[in-house]
Structure 1
Amino acid sequence: MTDDSPFRQVGQPVRGGIVCVVDHASSHVPADIDLGIAPELLDKHIAVDIGVEGVAERMARRHAIPAHIARVSRLVCDLHREEDAPGVVPETSDGHLIPGNIGADVERRLARFHRPYHAALGEWLDAARPGLVIALHSFTPALESGGAARPWEVALLYNRDDRAARHAIRLFADLGLTVGDNQPYSGKQLNATMDRHAEARGRPYLTIEIRQDMIPHEADQARWADIVADVAHRTALALDQD
């Protein structure tokens, strides 16, 4: 991995264990890319899944769940999209225009960020042969462009394979949390990374979305790392018994 790599990895996978993937962990924009937006927008959900990097770091370092973590903003290249998806280099996001992406060289962005990220992820997972993959995301309590408030504190998303999600939905609910089932959006429409690296390979996975006001501070992130790690381990055990 080089300094300008679109990913970093924390911890060493154990064959058959649990690993974590974080596509939207960073708000970093390389110095040679001008998005043409106000700097404060890089602190918003349109640029980064707020809080998830801290959760993933703690899961890797305290709970032995190693992580493959993005190092580039989703506004530069959305790693959680197929290469031919319209929003892979977004021109707008939640009502905000991204002028620097209008007419951008999408192929160059894919070659620089998207393909190396996914090639490395694929190799990492093939070597690890994990028993469970966590895809960790966070969602805003309300979109700026309108729509209903999002009451779920945590949510599980899935496409066709809901083996792990069904266990985790129950386990999170048992903790007294308000749990979304394919909310606030459906994994049947947006599940690109897990479709490619989990469902296509028969790997059980959990796409976990945490509401961003649950994890703004380090103490919150530590608490949620404990929660997610516990639910993931119990889900893995339940899968072994299915």
Structure 2
Amino acid sequence: MISEWQPWRHIGPEPRRRGIVLIADHASNFVPDDIVLGIEPALMNDHIAIDIGVEGVAERMARRHGVPAHVACVSRLVCDLNRDEDDPRVVPASSDGHTIPGNIGADLERRLDRFHRPYHHALADWLDHADPGLVISLHSFTPALKSAPASRPWEVGILYNTDDRAARHGIRLFGEAGLTVGDNEPYSGRDLNATMNRHAEAHGRAYLGIEVRQDQIDTEAGQARWAALIADVAGRVALMLEAA
């Protein structure tokens, strides 16, 4: 029997109480057949449609390093799951200079009912059941935006809003690994942190918002390297938080 499609999937073991879990809001470039975005097909493999490399890192962290993952199964161009429902960009009319014709005049409530609300309701239930000690929010960023081509020198960025408990440790540990680390770069978690604001900060859950530059994880070797590195850093951060 084939189960009904849903906008998320769970990978890896059952969450362990006070353990580490991972969330990947932009891991997919899937577009349902009944939604026509009206853009060049090649753009569906571009950063505007998917966080390049994140699905591979999440898969490896879940299956090889035992970090349970809640992973999106729909493109951010269909519905951006890391936006609040009232954010006008939750169904984007444009992205990085590209117009998305199929989203202009789209039925917002239908998109929210079909994708955003089920994703977040499932995530809320999963986290309540898991009661994690640390939540990882995993994203990737392009080395340079087409609409703002200044170079982004950070290999990894750590994002946070008001709760920086885990972020402080993460910034230091990634730096000690020899990386150039962005402190709320390439953009600030004070401006875009919807999923973590809702599911972590609102519940007092410590979280590590990680943005990896896409040229670091656009190959299987890079994904394997970063999965091991993030699992190691997250494990050490979790221990520090527990001891605090």
TM normalised by structure 1 equals 0.99
**1: CA distance, partners of 2:58 / 2:68:** 8
Return the letter of the residue paired with 2:105. G
**1: CA distance, partners of 2:4 / 2:149:** 39
Return the letter of the residue paired with 2:141. F
The 3-state SS of whatever aligns with 1:155 is strand
Equivalent residue, structure 2, for 1:233: 235
How many angstroms does 1:241 deviate by? 1.7
2:47 is equivalent to residue 56 of structure 1: no
For residues 173-184 of structure 1, the aligned pairs below 5 Å read 173-184=175-186
Equivalent residue, structure 2, for 1:81: 83
Of 163, 166, 169 in structure 2, the residue corresponding to residue 167 of structure 1 is 169
Equivalent residue, structure 2, for 1:10: 11
How many angstroms does 1:17 deviate by? 0.3
**2: CA distance, partners of 1:127 / 1:48:** 28
**2: CA distance, partners of 1:21 / 1:72:** 14
State the Cα RMSD in Å. Answer: 0.9
How many angstroms does 1:48 deviate by? 0.2
The 3-state SS of whatever aligns with 1:68 is strand
Equivalent residue, structure 1, for 2:106: 104
Equivalent residue, structure 2, for 1:219: 221
**2: CA distance, partners of 1:91 / 1:236:** 39
- Name structure 1 gaps, 5 residues minimum: none
**1: CA distance, partners of 2:156 / 2:117:** 30
How many angstroms does 1:219 deviate by? 1.1
Equivalent residue, structure 1, for 2:122: 120
Q: How many residues align?
A: 242
**2: CA distance, partners of 1:137 / 1:192:** 13
TM normalised by structure 2 equals 0.98
Q: Deviations over 1:15-62 (max 9, x none)?
A: 110000000000000000000001000000000000000000000001
How many angstroms does 1:147 deviate by? 3.8
Return the letter of the residue paired with 1:87. R
